[in-house]
């Protein structure tokens, strides 16, 4: 038992469920805040808990470069290192390496890339990406894939999708042979019940006497913007066999309509009883829409990144807090939001902090935006559990003013 997924309610294509990982049980659909370098920028872990974050993301590329996988492993894996008791998912590093366009070289064996920190040369293969993610010790880890650029011609999309499929098989093979070396597994040195790691180790893993509790590896569907290639990628990935499936390679510059179309068509080819993770999307409206299409897990840097630029998501649309019109606005940022920022501070104060370039501006803006995303997803889950299909989207968005 490393991962179980149960679907408890449905509305149309939307599913409400429970994903049980070694460190936490997660209500789905779920939004996962991004904590690139083992930190959700500006937000301490206890605040993330208070906001109701059930699972957060770490980026293998960044953590591999700094502080290094061995350091994290020695400190109990990411859970111990960053003192996070709930679930963690790491990406494979594929997307970050892909983003370093001019600094990378791809071959069948893997990807050579240069560090954005010091220019040093590194190599990621499906095997080394698995090795790094096993050392980091997230509950859910991702296959090493090639994210196809956009636009790309048919031949390029096919070649890239096929390489991702071959890499997925190599990932699965390596993971299967090495998964018992996860830092928090009972049988591993310095793991559960020993020293500093003990406090961080969670109920599910600790209570479960099953020696086989370990990480879960998800496969990733690629195939560019071609529906037939997406279908083939889904089939080939399912054939290898994973406990969950992600849709990757979207939000790479394509029009939003196309993203939606590819997501909807790809979902048709994924197993109905396994969790489905849509990587790297979207606005609050979009995450609601993707949940309605049957996506169970989503992550996005938008709430945290936009917050640092003074862009705040509210029940009445986007607010650019830097604008002079808020300079003397005594009202809360969002009268419908119950977060600690909206409960306490005025728009005028938030605008002043931003204009003064205060660190607190980033902290408070990020807390509100994350709260808004997490609350939105909470309402989506509630709406699914009520089973009121016709009111699905409207019940998420239209709330009476207090
Ligand atoms: Zn708020």
pLDDT digits (tens, 9 = 90+) for 311-329: 999 999 999 999 999 999 9
pLDDT digit string (tens) for 16-40? 999 999 999 999 999 999 999 999 9
Angle at the Cα of 155 from the Cα atoms of 153 and 160, rounded to 5 degrees: 95
Cα–Cα distance between 63 and 51 in angstroms, integer? 25
Please tell me the distance from the alpha carbon of residue 175 to that of residue 171, in angstroms, as a whole number. 6
**How confident is the model at residue 186, as a pLDDT?**
53
339 CA to centre of ligand 1 in angstroms? 4
Query: What is the per-residue pLDDT across 379-390, written as a single tens digit (0 to 9) for each?
Result: 999 999 988 665
Q: Distances from the Cα of 110 to the Cαs of 23, 93, 196, 391, 394, in angstroms? A: 31, 12, 36, 47, 46
Q: Write out pLDDT tens, residues 175-210.
A: 999 999 999 865 443 334 333 333 444 444 444 455
Distance (Å) from CA 52 to ligand 1 centroid: 14
pLDDT score at 338 = 95
pLDDT at 308: 96
Q: Give me ligand 1 centre to Cα 391, in Å.
A: 24
Give the model's pLDDT for residue 203.
45
What average pLDDT does this structure show over 236-261?
A: 97
- Supply the pLDDT for residue 297: 98
* Residue 13 scores a pLDDT above 90: yes
Strands (E), 195-261: 216-221, 245-247
pLDDT at 262: 98
Spatial distance between the Cα atoms of 314 and 334, rounded to a whole number of angstroms: 6
Would you please indicate which residues are annotated as catalytic (active-site) residues? 91, 299
CB contact set of 310 (below 8 Å; sequence gap of 6+): 320, 321, 322, 354, 361, 365
Where residue 100 falls among pLDDT bands split at 50, 70, 90? confident
Pairwise CA distance, residues 135 & 29, whole Å: 28
Q: Is the pLDDT of residue 233 over 50?
A: yes
Task: Provide the angle, in degrees to the nearest 10, between the axes of the packed helices 256-267 and 227-240.
Answer: 40
Residue 398 above 70 pLDDT? Answer: no
> Under DSSP, is residue 238 helix (H, G, I), strand (E, B) or coil?
helix
Alpha helices, DSSP H only, in 195-226?
A: 197-200, 203-207
Query: In angstroms, what CA-CA distances link 70 with 208, 295, 353, 382?
Result: 27, 34, 39, 41
Three-state SS for 118?
Answer: coil
The pTM score is 0.93
Looking at residue 391, its pLDDT comes to: 61
CA of 398 to the centre of ligand 1 (A): 16
> What distance in angstroms lies between residue 345's CA and the mean position of ligand 1's atoms?
10
341 Cα to the center of ligand 1, angstroms: 5
């Amino acid at each position: 038992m490393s991962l179980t997924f149960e679907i408890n309610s449905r509305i149309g294509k939307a599913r409400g469920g429970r994903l049980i990982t070694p460190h936490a049980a997660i209500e789905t659909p779920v939004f996962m805040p991004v904590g690139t370098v083992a930190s959700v920028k500006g937000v301490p872990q206890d605040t993330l808990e208070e906001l109701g974050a059930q699972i957060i993301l770490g980026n293998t590329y960044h953590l591999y470069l700094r502080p290094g996988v061995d350091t994290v492993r020695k400190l109990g894996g990411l859970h111990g290192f960053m003192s996070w008791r709930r679930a963690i998912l790491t990406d494979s590093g594929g997307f970050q390496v892909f983003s370093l366009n001019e600094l990378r070289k791809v071959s069948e064996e893997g990807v050579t890339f240069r560090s954005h920190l010091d220019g040093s040369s590194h190599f990621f293969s499906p095997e080394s990406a698995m090795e790094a993610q096993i050392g980091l010790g997230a509950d859910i880890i991702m296959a090493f894939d090639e994210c196809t650029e956009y636009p790309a011609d048919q031949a390029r999309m096919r070649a890239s999708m096929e390489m991702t499929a071959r890499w997925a098989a190599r990932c699965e093979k390596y993971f299967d042979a090495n998964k018992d070396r996860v830092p928090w597994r009972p049988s591993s040195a310095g793991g559960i019940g020993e020293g500093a790691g003990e406090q961080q180790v969670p109920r599910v893993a600790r209570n479960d006497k099953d020696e086989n509790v370990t990480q879960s590896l998800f496969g990733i569907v690629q195939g560019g913007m071609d529906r037939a290639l997406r279908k083939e990628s889904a089939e080939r990935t399912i054939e290898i066999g994973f406990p969950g499936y992600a849709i990757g390679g979207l939000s790479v510059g394509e029009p939003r309509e196309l993203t939606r179309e590819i997501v909807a068509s790809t979902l048709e080819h994924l197993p109905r009883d396994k969790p489905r993770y849509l990587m790297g999307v979207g606005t609050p409206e979009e995450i609601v829409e993707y949940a309605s299409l049957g996506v169970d897990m989503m992550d996005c840097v938008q709430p945290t990144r936009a917050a640092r630029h003074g862009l705040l998501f509210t029940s009445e649309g986007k607010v650019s807090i830097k604008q002079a019109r808020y300079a003397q606005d005594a009202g809360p940022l969002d009268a419908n939001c119950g977060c600690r920022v909206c409960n306490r501070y005025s728009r005028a104060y938030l605008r002043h902090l931003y204009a003064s370039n205060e660190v607190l501006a980033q902290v408070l803006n990020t807390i509100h935006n994350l709260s808004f995303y997490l609350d939105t997803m909470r309402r989506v889950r509630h709406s699914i559990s009520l089973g009121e299909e016709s009111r699905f989207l409207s019940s998420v968005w239209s709330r009476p003013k207090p």
